Amino acid sequence: MGTVVAMLHAGLRCAFPARQVLSAEGGPTPERGARLWEDAGLDRAMNRAMTAAPEPAARCVRVATGGGPRAIACAHPRLAEVDRERVWPLPELLADVLRLPHVVGLAEIDGALHWVIDARRLPADDA
């Protein structure tokens, strides 16, 4: 897979290809920033449990998407190298359940699983 940006978004580990990054800056994301996990048809109780104590978003990463540049709030962003052997595509059944077209797989980074995101698949508008 190569170089990815590994980070926490709403308390969940995720990563996306570093080549999709346009810029990174300190400070929280603007109000209309991308939300990777919310309003995706997940059971609300499970979603609340998974994000009960999210890390504060102290950074903003702007990425290239199919709908134009988008800002993503994150905590602890860092560059990481990921070998193809440590990346697995999202099983079709799980993709159907999640209904998150931008989540394309899982990757093991430093011994922890991360959701692999393709920012080009982010919805044009999260509002």
- Could you tell me the pTM of the whole model? 0.79
Arithmetic mean of pLDDT, 63-77:
88
Select from 56, 58, 116 the least CA-distant residue to 86.
Answer: 116
Q: Is 53 exposed, middle or buried (0-12, 13-18, 19+ CB in 10 A)?
A: exposed
Q: Residue 95: enclosing H or E segment and its boundaries?
A: helix 92-98
Q: Report the candidate in 31, 23, 30, 47 with the shortest Cα–Cα distance to residue 100.
A: 47
* Tens digits of residue pLDDT in 1-36: 699 999 998 889 999 999 999 988 887 666 667 878
What confidence score (pLDDT) does residue 14 get? 95
Place of tokens 């209309």: 32
| Residue 55 banded pLDDT, cuts 50, 70, 90 | low
CA angle 112, 113, 115 (to 5 degrees): 140
Q: How confident is the model at residue 78 (pLDDT cuts 50, 70, 90)?
A: very high
Residue 86: name the closest of 32, 15, 30 by CA: 15
